[in-house]
Amino acid sequence: MTHDRLLIIDFGSQVTQLIARRLRELNVYCEIHPYQNVTDALLKDIAPRAVILSGGPDSVTRDGSPRAPEAVFTMGVPILGICYGQQVMMQQLGGKVVSGEGTAEFGRAFVRPEGDAIALLDGWFTEGQEQVWMSHGDHVSALAPGFAVYGTSPNAPYAITADLARNFFAVQFHPEVHHTPRGKDLFKNFIRLAGFKGDWTMGAYRAEAIAKIRQQVGDKKVICGLSGGVDSSVAAVLIHEAIGDNLTCVFVDHGLLRQNEAAEVVAMFRDNYNIPLIHADESDLFLGALEGMSDPEEKRKTIGKLFIDVFQKYANQIDGAEFLAQGTLYPDVIESVSFSGGPSVTIKSHHNVGGLPEKMGLKLVEPLRELFKDEVRALGHELGLPPHFIGRHPFPGPGLAIRCPGQITREKLEILRKADAVYIDQIRKHGLYDDIWQAFVAILPVRTVGVMGDGRTYDYACALRAVTSVDGMTADYYPFTHEFLGETATRIINEVKGINRVTYDITSKPPGTIEWE
């Protein structure tokens, strides 16, 4: 790859990914690596034009706390240390950091300028001070030789420091978070003074990714599992552009898709893009296996296992396939530093096809490995995928099975599909679709009594779910108006036979999860 690169050395901050996001928005290609993995070989391989040292939860005053590799300081490239990154720089370069009373500062703070104006702070302090976000327990108490101070806050006398001769900068606050409103300008100034050309664009990436796929795959065949989601769709279209009909897509229809979903996916890929596509309608197999099952984990595991079997069966029909394409994204690849240690509790067994490559002896093609989700969307636009397709809400691998608590029947799935379609139609009509991370209906395993016209009804209750989220890890329920909820409930009850009661789920995550199972 020919782009200018920036290396982010991760000391385990919760917000290290945001540094990468800000830089990518500025058309700079960057990679995050945990501090303990940054070897001389890695530095040589990446050959960064600049380095950023992230924040982190430890204290440099503690014996054995993380350090930056010494080689970073002798490479002759600009460095920006953030929070823990600042403290590590000072400690390693001959300054002093203290811990104790009066050294901590959390939340909003105001930094005032000190000394001469410097290029890093172009556009800052136009109002005499800048709002920044602090989150530190320790602070720098003596600067390393060569450094001077350019900004102070009440609890951080060395809020902004720099050694201009070496182009080393170190700040106590977090410029990467929202609450530092002009943080992005600081990054912009840093990459400008480091000489970045801003050469990371989706147009350039597209051409480069295509060349890379061709080089990796040659004239061999590739199989791609299509789910209808954004990631696998963008990967498929990109790979097809690279190798044409040596790509075959396999779309496994497990009978747990939303209304018209299978038809839309087939029309889009086979008819629109002329991509060879196997439409594996295996709904009888999946629904048969799920019959009578109501335990959420059992459902998930059954679907996951069958999915692999079915995919393998169809993939075996493609002669000479050597590669499997996956829509893996950068957040799945980043090895974040974990300070908690120990395996985390399994909340849900996620459905993925991770076990496939080993089982099938296939090599992986992962053309989206370097991208964040919104970059995948931008690439999708670049490749001409329809905007409504690119902007679709995430849909889980096990599909409607996990939106149908209790036993799954064809009748319930049909009712669920119809209710979900009405709900999404309402959301689109009210112009709310893009404000919501994910919205869907769950059909509840309970019938309730109602009255319609002069008659008694005894039908299913359903729950509407809509959440806002950044990454699906935490979520808040969406604050619909009462009018919207009332109108939607009326429409569902009038238009969907089989439902006579509608509820709205107002649980956040945590303590709830987004899906019901």
Are β-strands 156-163 and 148-153 bridged in parallel, bridged antiparallel, or unpaired?
antiparallel
The single residue among 279, 348, 369, 373 that binds ligand XMP, judged by CB under 6 A, is 348
SS (H, E, C) 187-218: HHHHHHHCCCCCCCCHHHHHHHHHHHHHHHHC
Residue 40 or 435 with smaller CB distance to ligand XMP = 435
Catalytic residue, chosen from 3, 136, 174, 240, is 174
- Residue 508 engages ligand XMP in binding (rule: CB under 6 A): no
User: Minimum distance between the CB of residue 516 and ligand XMP, rounded to whole angstroms?
Assistant: 8
Residue 300 or 412 with smaller CB distance to ligand XMP = 300
Nearest to 227 by CA among 262, 276, 260: 262
State the Cα angle at 353 between 352 and 359, rounded to 5°: 145
Taking the C-alpha atoms of residue 256 and residue 517, their distance in angstroms, rounded to an integer, is 14
Taking the C-alpha atoms of residue 341 and residue 454, their distance in angstroms, rounded to an integer, is 62
Task: State the binding string over 173-212 for ligand XMP (x if CB under 6 A, else -).
Answer: ----------------------------------------
Q: CA 438 → CA 42, 261, 478, 482, 500, distances in Å?
A: 39, 16, 10, 19, 24
The single residue among 12, 228, 327, 398 that binds ligand XMP, judged by CB under 6 A, is 398
The single residue among 3, 5, 258, 351 that binds ligand XMP, judged by CB under 6 A, is 351
Q: Which tokens belong to 9?
A: 């050395």
Please identify, among the stretches 15-23, 29-37, 347-355, 407-415, the one whose residues bind ligand XMP according to the rule CB under 6 A: 347-355
Active site residue 83: yes
User: Minimum distance between the CB of residue 281 and ligand XMP, rounded to whole angstroms?
Assistant: 21
Buried b (16+ CB within 10 A) or exposed e, 236-257: bbbbbbbbeebbbbbbbbbbbb
- Residue 396 engages ligand XMP in binding (rule: CB under 6 A): yes
Structural Rg of the chain based on CA atoms: 26
Residue 67 or 348 with smaller CB distance to ligand XMP = 348
Please identify, among the stretches 60-68, 309-317, 366-374, 509-517, the one whose residues bind ligand XMP according to the rule CB under 6 A: 509-517
State the Cα angle at 390 between 386 and 392, rounded to 5°: 120
- Residue 472 engages ligand XMP in binding (rule: CB under 6 A): yes
- Residue 327 engages ligand XMP in binding (rule: CB under 6 A): no
Residue 157 or 394 with smaller CB distance to ligand XMP = 394
User: Minimum distance between the CB of residue 506 and ligand XMP, rounded to whole angstroms?
Assistant: 15
Please identify, among the stretches 95-103, 190-198, 306-314, 389-397, the one whose residues bind ligand XMP according to the rule CB under 6 A: 389-397
Q: Which tokens belong to 71?
A: 């080689």
Q: Which tokens belong to 387?
A: 């905007």
Catalytic residue, chosen from 105, 176, 370, 375, is 176
Task: State the binding string over 413-452 for ligand XMP (x if CB under 6 A, else -).
Answer: -------------------------x--------------
SS (H, E, C) 27-63: CCEEEEEEHHHCCHHHHHHHCCCEEEECCCCCCCCCC
User: Minimum distance between the CB of residue 347 and ligand XMP, rounded to whole angstroms?
Assistant: 6
Please identify, among the stretches 169-177, 187-195, 290-298, 395-403, the one whose residues bind ligand XMP according to the rule CB under 6 A: 395-403
DSSP string, 139-188: EEEEPPTT-EEEEEETTEEEEEEEETTTTEEEESS-TTSTTSTTHHHHHH
Taking the C-alpha atoms of residue 216 and residue 221, their distance in angstroms, rounded to an integer, is 11
Residue 245's φ and ψ, nearest 5 degrees, are -75, 10
Active site residue 370: no
In sequence order, what are the residues at sequence separation of 6 or more whose Cβ sits closer than 8 angstroms to the Cβ of residue 430? 484
Please identify, among the stretches 108-116, 128-136, 390-398, 486-494, the one whose residues bind ligand XMP according to the rule CB under 6 A: 390-398
Residue 54 or 438 with smaller CB distance to ligand XMP = 438
User: Minimum distance between the CB of residue 306 and ligand XMP, rounded to whole angstroms?
Assistant: 14
Please identify, among the stretches 233-241, 291-299, 396-404, 416-424, the one whose residues bind ligand XMP according to the rule CB under 6 A: 396-404
Distance of CA 286 to the CA centre of its chain: 29
Residue 472 or 498 with smaller CB distance to ligand XMP = 472
- Residue 509 engages ligand XMP in binding (rule: CB under 6 A): yes
- Residue 331 engages ligand XMP in binding (rule: CB under 6 A): no
- Residue 367 engages ligand XMP in binding (rule: CB under 6 A): no
Residue 122 or 505 with smaller CB distance to ligand XMP = 505
E runs forming strands in 309-425: 321-325, 363-365
SS3 463: strand
Helix (H) or strand (E) holding 468: strand 455-468
Strand partners, 364: 324
The single residue among 397, 403, 439, 489 that binds ligand XMP, judged by CB under 6 A, is 397
The single residue among 331, 394, 406, 450 that binds ligand XMP, judged by CB under 6 A, is 394
- What residues line the site for ligand XMP (CB under 6 A)? 348, 350-351, 394, 396-398, 438, 472, 509, 513-515
Give the active site residues.
83, 174, 176
